[in-house]
Amino acid sequence: PGKSMSKLIVLAKKTKKLGQDDPRRIIHSLKVGLAITLVSLFYYFEPLYDGFGVSAMWAVLTVVVVFEFSVGGTLSRGLNRGLATFLAAGLGFGAHHLANLSGKLGEPILLGLFVFLLASTVTFVRFFPRMKARYDYGLLIFILTFCLISVSGYRDDEVWHMAHMRVSTILIGGFTAVCVCILIFPVWAGTDLHNLVANNIDKLANFLEGFGPLYFQIPQDGEMDMTFLEGYKCVLNSKQTEESLANFAGWEPGHGEFRFRHPWKQYLKIGSLTRNCAYRIEALNGYLNTETKIPEEIRGKMQDACINMSSEAVKALKELAFSIQTMTKPCSANSHITKSKIAAKNLKSLLSASLCKETEILDLIPAVAVASLLVDVVACTEKIEESVQE
Amino acid sequence: PGKSMSKLIVLAKKTKKLGQDDPRRIIHSLKVGLAITLVSLFYYFEPLYDGFGVSAMWAVLTVVVVFEFSVGGTLSRGLNRGLATFLAAGLGFGAHHLANLSGKLGEPILLGLFVFLLASTVTFVRFFPRMKARYDYGLLIFILTFCLISVSGYRDDEVWHMAHMRVSTILIGGFTAVCVCILIFPVWAGTDLHNLVANNIDKLANFLEGFGPLYFQIPQDGEMDMTFLEGYKCVLNSKQTEESLANFAGWEPGHGEFRFRHPWKQYLKIGSLTRNCAYRIEALNGYLNTETKIPEEIRGKMQDACINMSSEAVKALKELAFSIQTMTKPCSANSHITKSKIAAKNLKSLLSASLCKETEILDLIPAVAVASLLVDVVACTEKIEESVQE
């Protein structure tokens, strides 16, 4: 019992942490509960239930399947579902009618052929990367609805009735989901993307800020916060997240400071430059863990230049992150980058002038090399940043 | 018309390329078509249709939704769906019964409460990363089935009948999907993961192989194939693909040379080490594009050592990739790594002895630094590789 007790406590702690990390998760859960309850009760009460019949469960199904964490996700799935159902219903009705005309024997053969052709083709279309990104769910629903309607054993007028019921219940379900999603504490994928890109730049800055003192083993006041060493790691694998957020953001209407057609692709560009920078930082991080220590005399010489250079880069990165966050023009980032470049040059000449004894050059250079790369990347980021402001 | 014609041609070319890149896509599309047609016709023929009624469409729905590209994906979704439906049906039946007992007035309130609580809780559970990875789809179906059954306006015995029908149709649908998926040209996620990991290592080797001659501008016989420069880029973002493949592979039964509980996690470890190595290579790639040229005299000196070092690393990487591919023990990889390390040491001493004129150290060192890092990573990979062979 003691063991299961401690497991329970661990679980409770995990749950609490999950909720604290992002309280919107709790709100989202409650929102889903609310939307489903609304639709369920709507469906439960007899008068409506009699009117819609079994298709009413499509309303519940729609809410469950369509409701996503972000507004963009919900809209994307809802529109996909609505549009696909509508198109497929029309096509399915046509196929059904055509098969009906061909008599008792030809009907199943023709229907089978239609279903096979359509399902195969649409499944193949789902492999196109562009279709997959935006319309994957819609294509799935398209196959589904087409099969259900074309193969249904009903007579033509029954099919009309069924299609009508289905479309209206799906509309009710989708409408409920979208309303609850947008009206109660909406989570905008666009805002998330905006913050993610800014935070990622910030994380790189945090690493660089801590890197200098740690590499040169400068004693710090008080305990040092080592979390910055791990922070940038998630930037390395942020590609998929950014892409799906940008995709969802494209479905969202204007909100807050974002217009409807906000240039979300710019964020992807900045994100990919940030990732490039993060790869360099990952390489830099490798040098923190190696045991080889720098000879004392050289350390003193290069320490100032290095720290100066990285602190200017940190200032530039932080300002860029801040300016993305607040959507203002970065005013002093450029001068920080220039200063950082000057520091890099100083370091270069320092190195080639004085480091020609039998020291292990390999121990010193990497930091410089990567940092100078970093400066380039920062300059790149700034270019993109400016284009966002336009 | 000419414009739309050329667009069509572009589309046709894209389609052809998509099919040629991986012919399994075409087979998969045909398989989906086949499975859906089978189930649809099964559902269409009157005697069966009378027996199953409207729930028969759940069979079609199940096939459409469950059928995934790989066997593991299909099994994972199928089992998730089956299990979730079964559990939720039981729970929903209980809730329905309990609400029935509480009279005309209490029933909707109690039902609403149940649905709200369950939907909110399960939605929150979906945020747990572990649950999300393996059971996301099952949890969704769980909410769905629970709502449909508990809220259905039917009497108790009707609910039993409905639940029975639904479970049997879902079993038929799931069974068809799984059979078609496994019996006709199965695509195993495990095999894909296996090949992906081996290929990724190979791609790094290809880059390194081409890097030396390109960096030192050694003239090559004939046209040089530059595709290797891009090949490693996809390794950088392979994390999500590898994880989802490993997840699917965990659901697959034994096949080919893989036992049921093949240590798929080892592949993730190797994959992450490969990615670490790719980050270094990405940094290395940055030096190819910089315009600064190396002074002639130094180039000659370091060229041999560098190329020697990287060619040994290439041999080791290629052998590792080959040994993963064929599931054999790498026999000479270790000696290649040792040779590569010796070459690295030679290069080091060469550098510290002779490069003390006013040369731009920054231009030369990075290649060395990263290559020596690379050797470490290769050694790491080998360790993991050995543990896989156990």
Angstroms from A240 CA to nearest CA on chain B: 8
d(CA A307, CA A208): 9
DSSP letter at A126 equals T
pLDDT higher than threshold 70 for residue A212: yes
Q: What is the pLDDT of residues A313-326, one digit of tens each?
A: 778 778 778 877 77
Chain A and chain B share a number of CB contacts under 8 A equal to 211
Mean pLDDT of B58-66: 85
Q: What is the pLDDT of residues B2-17, one digit of tens each?
A: 778 888 888 888 888 8
Higher pLDDT: A104 or A193? It is: A193
Of A36, A152, A356, the CB nearest to B115: A36
In whole angstroms, how far apart are CA B220 and each of B203, B224, B281, B314?
20, 7, 22, 18
Of A29, A279, A365, the CB nearest to B369: A365
What is the widest separation between alpha-carbon atoms in chain B? 96
Phi first, then psi: what are they for B357, rounded to 5°?
-85, -175
Q: Are A375 and A344 in contact (CB under 8 A)?
A: yes
For residue B310, the SS3 value is helix
How much is the pLDDT for B191?
86
Pull the structure tokens for residue A240: 């998929």
Query: What type of residue is A94?
Result: G
**Neighbouring C-beta atoms of residue A117, cutoff 10 Å:** 13
DSSP β-bridge partners for residue B255: B258
Q: Are A382 and A321 in contact (CB under 8 A)?
A: no
Mean pLDDT of A119-140: 88
Pull the structure tokens for residue A1: 């019992």
DSSP letter at A53 equals G
Q: Which residue of B has its CA nearest to A365?
A: B365
CB contact under 8 A, A33 and B112: no
d(CA B390, CA B381): 15
d(CA B249, CA A300): 53
How much is the pLDDT for B213?
75
Query: What type of residue is B363?
Result: D
Q: How many angstroms from the chain centroid is the CA of residue A26? A: 19
Residue at token pair 């400068």: A218
Q: Which residue of B has its CA nearest to A290?
A: B373
Highest mean pLDDT among B71-80, B197-206, B357-366: B71-80
Interface test with A, best of B29, B81, B287 (most A CBs within 10 A): B29
Classify the phi-psi angles of B75: left when phi > 0, otherwise alpha if psi is within -120 to 50, otherwise beta.
alpha
d(CA B114, CA B135): 22
How much is the pLDDT for A358?
42
Higher pLDDT: B373 or A249? It is: A249
d(CA B352, CA B305): 14
**Which residues of chain A are within 8 Å of residue B373 when distances are taken between CB atoms?**
283, 286
d(CA B373, CA B384): 17
**Which residues of chain A are within 8 Å of residue B244 when distances are taken between CB atoms?**
none
Q: Are A288 and A215 in contact (CB under 8 A)?
A: yes
Residue at token pair 């990367």: A129
CB contact under 8 A, A128 and B153: no
Residue at token pair 């360790």: B383
Angstroms from B38 CA to nearest CA on chain A: 8
How much is the pLDDT for B225?
62
For residue B49, the SS3 value is helix
**Neighbouring C-beta atoms of residue B250, cutoff 10 Å:** 19
Highest mean pLDDT among A56-60, A212-216, A308-312, B198-202: B198-202
Angle of helix A129-151 relative to helix B56-66, nearest 10 degrees?
170
Q: What is the pLDDT of residues B133-162, one digit of tens each?
A: 888 889 988 988 888 777 665 556 666 777
Q: Are A316 and A337 in contact (CB under 8 A)?
A: yes
CB contact under 8 A, B29 and A355: no
**Which residues of chain A are within 8 Å of residue B236 when distances are taken between CB atoms?**
236, 275, 279
Closest CA to B344 of B319, B379, B368, B316: B368
Of B18, B29, B369, the CB nearest to A366: B369
Closest CA to A114 of A140, A95, A129, A136: A95
ipTM of the prediction: 0.81
pLDDT higher than threshold 60 for residue B23: yes
CB contact under 8 A, A368 and B358: no
CB contact under 8 A, B351 and A362: yes
Q: What is the pLDDT of residues B289-343, one digit of tens each?
A: 655 555 566 666 667 777 777 777 778 778 778 877 777 776 676 777 777 777 7
pLDDT higher than threshold 60 for residue B204: yes
Classify the phi-psi angles of B221: left when phi > 0, otherwise alpha if psi is within -120 to 50, otherwise beta.
beta
Mean pLDDT of A31-54: 72
Of A34, A44, A365, the CB nearest to B361: A365
d(CA B358, CA A351): 10
Query: What type of residue is A205?
Result: A
Of A14, A49, A115, the CB nearest to B40: A115
**Neighbouring C-beta atoms of residue B218, cutoff 10 Å:** 11
CB contact under 8 A, A111 and B352: no
**Which residues of chain A are within 8 Å of residue B54 when distances are taken between CB atoms?**
54
**Neighbouring C-beta atoms of residue A155, cutoff 10 Å:** 11
Q: Which residues contact B185 (CB under 8 A, 6 or more apart)?
A: B24, B27, B31
* Cα angle B55-B91-B52, degrees, rounded to a multiple of 5: 15
In whole angstroms, how far apart are CA B369 and each of A362, B185, B309?
6, 47, 12
How many percent of chain B have pLDDT more than 70? 74
**Neighbouring C-beta atoms of residue B8, cutoff 10 Å:** 10
Pull the structure tokens for residue B293: 């040229």
How much is the pLDDT for A386?
61
Of A44, A123, A153, the CB nearest to B44: A153
CB contact under 8 A, B119 and A44: no
How many percent of chain A have pLDDT more than 70? 74
Pull the structure tokens for residue B278: 């790719």
CB contact under 8 A, A151 and B60: yes
**Which residues of chain A are within 8 Å of residue B152 when distances are taken between CB atoms?**
57
d(CA A143, CA A136): 11
Q: What is the pLDDT of residues B81-123, one digit of tens each?
A: 888 988 888 888 888 888 888 877 777 788 888 889 999 999 8
Interface test with A, best of B123, B145, B302 (most A CBs within 10 A): B123
Q: Which residues contact A134 (CB under 8 A, 6 or more apart)?
A: A76, A247
CB contact under 8 A, B366 and A362: no
Mean pLDDT of A30-36: 89
How much is the pLDDT for B156?
60
DSSP letter at A258 equals B
d(CA A50, CA A151): 25
Mean pLDDT of B339-356: 67
DSSP β-bridge partners for residue A255: A258
d(CA A4, CA A15): 16
> Which of A165-179, A263-277, B251-265, B367-381 is least confident?
B367-381
Q: Which residue of B has its CA nearest to A287?
A: B373
Phi first, then psi: what are they for B258, rounded to 5°?
-100, 130
Q: What is the pLDDT of residues A2-20, one digit of tens each?
A: 788 888 888 888 888 888 8
**Neighbouring C-beta atoms of residue A329, cutoff 10 Å:** 11
Whole-model pTM? 0.82
For residue A45, the SS3 value is coil
> Which of B19-33, B51-65, B165-179 is least confident?
B51-65
Q: Which residues contact B135 (CB under 8 A, 6 or more apart)?
A: B80
Find the helix or strand (DSSP H, E) in which A184 lies. Answer: none
Of A111, A116, A360, the CB nearest to B33: A116
How much is the pLDDT for B358?
42
Phi first, then psi: what are they for A255, rounded to 5°?
-155, 145
> Which of A140-149, A368-377, B167-176, B206-215 is least confident?
A368-377
Q: What is the pLDDT of residues B264-282, one digit of tens each?
A: 887 888 888 788 778 877 7
